[in-house]
Structure 1
Amino acid sequence: MKDIEITRPLELDRSQTVALDTHSFLNILNVLNLELSDLAEMCDLESALEGDINRIFQLADEMSNPDTAYARIAGLDQDIAAIERKLDEQLATRPEARDSAKVREARENLESIFSVLRKRVADLQARIDDLTSWREFEIARMIEDFQKVFGAIEKNSKGRFRIIDNIAAQESQDYYVDFKVHSSEDPLIRMPAVLIDVVRDLLANARKYTSPGGRINAGVWSDDSRLCISVEDSGRGIPEDEIESVIDYGQRASNVQDRRTMGGGLGLTKAYFICKQLGGRFWIRSELDRGTRIRMMIPKIAGEVSDCSEPLDTAAD
């Protein structure tokens, strides 16, 4: 496999740009809708929760609309809290169903989804007026947040797989995920907040297109001059003649069309778009049935666009 640097221009209209900004939130909102609908059916609460399920659809529409999305962000916390409160109120009317093992498990899963959703809202609120400015993050907190994401994904699988970080413990249905963050400014790392979103999306893609039992390696590394991101998996890979076009808006590789996607196939588009907004470079290495590696290099020095695999002063143009 060889690295292919993607340099093609990516032209997006206003609605597409909004979709990239909000798509991580919408992914989780879609998951909430599915899980809440399943729980409502389990507890015979379809009619009682119909309004809340419709509210989720309405939120999705408003957050997809360029005329309403950004103004709508401020009230998302209240909407999410209202949906969760209504769920608890309705479950209280079905104590026998509520206390069953199956429903308790579903409610715990929903709790993790609500938690992730609130984090997505906080992320949107934090960066709405300042998408690409550089901020300091605590490395330990960043790793902890990603571990919570992995935990939520595992819980949402309902026992189909585990996500583990020790290869010695990996069983046939487990994903082995190795995620590391290092910085010359340890214990802090400086980066635009939106890149945390990008890494999450790339990890979600890697998990989605890798079968249980596979591996995912990811890292964020930073020195005084550049920030490097790499996400690699042992999944399906991308057909060679589609590698350069897979970053196009809504484009998915032809060999993954059978996989349901919550996000419309926007993860790579968003990663590439943000990378180029920040003056960076972007590489894809992929081979069918062997996996894919995405690498990004974001300069901290304006105009400096080296390759993360090379020393800064000797990197090729």
Structure 2
Amino acid sequence: MPTTYRVRELRGYDRNVMRGARRSSDRVLETVPFCWMCRATAGDRTREHVFALRLQREFPPEMTRFEPVRYTSIGNGAQVGSRRGPFAGNALVAGGVCATCNNGWMSQLETDARTYLLGHKSVIDGADAAMLSRWFAKTAIIINVSQPYRLLWHDTRRHQTQFRTPDNVAISLYRTREPDLNWKQGSIMSMHTMSSRMNPSQVSRLTGALTHLCEIQVGTLVGAVVALPWQLSASALTMPGSLLWSSRTARRVDLSALPMMEDPFADDPIIDVAPSAFWSGESMGSSQKPPREVAAPTQVG
């Protein structure tokens, strides 16, 4: 039985889309929680920055002013759907993060990651590679929940980030020549193969609407984060650059010898689409997994 949501209890962006569009892309639909990153329902709420203020202070002011642009797909092309800013990076925040998360594990993660983000260490492996993977996953989540884009990280995976890199996530790293603080989310993934068990409409729905691709640039370092929906957990990904995290495993990477790309957001991952072993493919709202993980709810005003 699909979960029923009151539209007014959703994120502002999702709420406006659901009320104003005849047909909208699939998304995770959840009422706005007290904290996006844990199950707390009370306490002090804070604002989590997309890029920590102490990280922003490492870059010249012109790199910490942002002008986010949202594109909408029109046929085979795209056009600007909205443009905001420019405004200072300290305005880019997710408002619904509890003080325990923000001042605890998230603050520690920022401290641990900055050594590698700023290039003070080169070779990364083991626990540190897992830590940096968590930082990129956490940042992709904060970008997704705070910016005008459909929600793609359900609560289970968001909460996993407190302890580890979430399920069904792959992360790779590469370099670009021009330093910046920036991101891009929502690129179209390239397809290499597709399982015969799936039809094209299913694949389009899962890879185009419910997969989150977020590329995050810090200086000349770029991390590509792909979060697959659980239905595609058996799929294989070919990521741009050097793989840092895949299949719950951290990889050894030499940050001083990463592949160089002229455009920080040009190369999309390639996916060999395969359905997970426990998904029948019959319904997005299948009882084999909680319906909160996909967009199959009933809307009410």
TM-score, normalised relative to structure 1: 0.29
User: Computing the radius of gyration over CA atoms, which structure comes out larger, 1 or 2?
Assistant: 1
Compare relative contact order (CA 8 Å, sep 6+) and give the higher one, 1 or 2.
2
TM-score, normalised relative to structure 2: 0.30
The structure richer in helix per residue is: 1
